[in-house]
Structure 1
Amino acid sequence: MTLNMFENVHKPNPSDEELNAQRNWTRAYIVVLIVIMASVIYITMLSYQTVTTIVDKPTLDEYANLPKSADCLCTNLSIPYRTFINFNPQFHEVCKSHFIELNGKWMSLLYDSYKYQRFNKRNLRTFQRMALFHFQAIQAMCRMVILAVKNELTLFLNSTLTTVEILESDLFEKKINATINNFCLNTMRSNFLYSLQLIRNMYSGNGLISGLTTNWYPVVAFKATIGTIYMKAQKYNLSSCNCATMPACVESMSLELNSGSNWTVPGMMIGCLPLESMLESTLECIYDQDCLNTITETLLNEPIRPLSSARTRFKPINTTKLITIASELFIEDWGIEFAYEKYFTSCQPKTCSYTSSERFRIKDSMGTIFTIYGGICILLQFIIPIGFKLVHKCFSRRTRQITAMDTS
Structure 2
Amino acid sequence: MYDVGVFIGFTSSIVCTPLEGFFAGCTPVEGLLVNTLDCLYDIKCVELLIDYFPTLNQSNVSLMDSILVPPNQNTSVYDHLLNLFIDEWSININYSKYYDECVPRSCTYTIIDQINFSYAFTLLISIYGGLIIILRLITPILVNMSMKLSVVSLRQNRTIETSFLVLIIFTSLSTQTVTITESNPSLLTYDKLQAMYPNTLKCFCSNTAIRYDKFMSLSPTLHEVCSSDFVHDDFLSALKEKVVVRNKHSDWTDRAFSHFQLLMNFCRLANETITAAVHRFIMGSMVISNMLNKNDFNTQTNVTLDQFYRSTIVDFRLAVDIQRLFVQIDQPYTGKATGPNNNVASFLFTEIYYANFTLINCDCATNVHCQTSAFIYQDTNVTNSYVYIIPGIVKGCFIINSLLYSTLQCLYVDSDCFPNLVSFLLGGNHYHLHPLIYNPTLSKYPPNTSVLEIVKELMIEQWNPLYIYEPFYESCAPSYCTYSKNIRTKNTMGVITTLVSLIGGLTVALRLITPQLVKLFYWLLTLNKKKKEKQPQQGNDYRSNIFK
Q: Deviations over 1:320-378 (max 9, x none)?
A: 100000111111111111112221111111111111224xx3x8333432432453465
- The residue that corresponds to 1:372 in the other structure is 498
Distance in 1 separating the partners of 2:223 and 2:500? 81
Change over 3 Å in CA distance of 1:365–1:211 after alignment to 2: farther
- The residue that corresponds to 1:94 in the other structure is 225
Change over 3 Å in CA distance of 1:205–1:379 after alignment to 2: same
Match of 1:243 among 357, 364, 369: 364
SS at match of 1:354: strand
TM-score, scaled to structure 1: 0.76
Change over 3 Å in CA distance of 1:208–1:396 after alignment to 2: closer
For the 8 Å contact 2:239–2:257, the answer to whether it is kept is: yes
Distance in 1 separating the partners of 2:279 and 2:209? 17
- The residue that corresponds to 1:333 in the other structure is 462
Q: Deviations over 1:117-141 (max 9, x none)?
A: 12x223x431321100000110111
1:73 equivalent to 2:204? Answer yes
- The residue that corresponds to 1:56 in the other structure is 183
Match of 1:149 among 267, 270, 274: 274
Distance in 1 separating the partners of 2:158 and 2:517? 17
Note the 1:6-155 alignment, pairs <5 A. Answer: 37-66=164-193, 67-69=197-199, 70-102=201-233, 104=234, 106-114=235-243, 117-118=244-245, 120-122=246-248, 124-155=249-280
Give 1:86 deviation, angstroms: 1.1
- The residue that corresponds to 2:422 in the other structure is 296
Distance in 1 separating the partners of 2:345 and 2:377? 31
Q: Deviations over 1:224-270 (max 9, x none)?
A: x9xx9652113215422222212332222222346984201111122
Note the 1:202-351 alignment, pairs <5 A. Answer: 202-212=326-336, 230-238=346-354, 239-257=360-378, 261-288=386-413, 290-298=416-424, 299-302=427-430, 304-310=433-439, 313-318=443-448, 320-351=449-480
- Percent identity of paired positions between Structure 1 and Structure 2: 24
Give 1:47 deviation, angstroms: 2.4
Distance in 2 separating the partners of 1:390 and 1:235? 119
Distance in 2 separating the partners of 1:378 and 1:152? 76
Change over 3 Å in CA distance of 1:6–1:344 after alignment to 2: closer
Change over 3 Å in CA distance of 1:257–1:377 after alignment to 2: same
Query: Structure 1: where are the runs of 5+ without partners?
Result: 9-22, 24-29, 214-219
Distance in 2 separating the partners of 1:42 and 1:348? 44
SS at match of 1:142: helix
User: RMSD between aligned alpha carbons?
Assistant: 3.9
Query: Structure 2: where are the runs of 5+ without partners?
Result: 1-134, 140-149, 151-156, 355-359, 534-548
Letter of the structure 2 residue corresponding to residue 202 of structure 1 = F
- The residue that corresponds to 1:13 in the other structure is none
Give 1:194 deviation, angstroms: 0.9
SS at match of 1:364: coil
- The residue that corresponds to 2:485 in the other structure is 356
Distance in 2 separating the partners of 1:294 and 1:396? 127
Name which structure has the greater RCO, CA cutoff 8 Å, separation 6+. 1
Give 1:65 deviation, angstroms: 2.1
Distance in 2 separating the partners of 1:381 and 1:269? 105
SS at match of 1:72: strand
Letter of the structure 1 residue corresponding to residue 365 of structure 2 = A
- The residue that corresponds to 1:194 in the other structure is 318
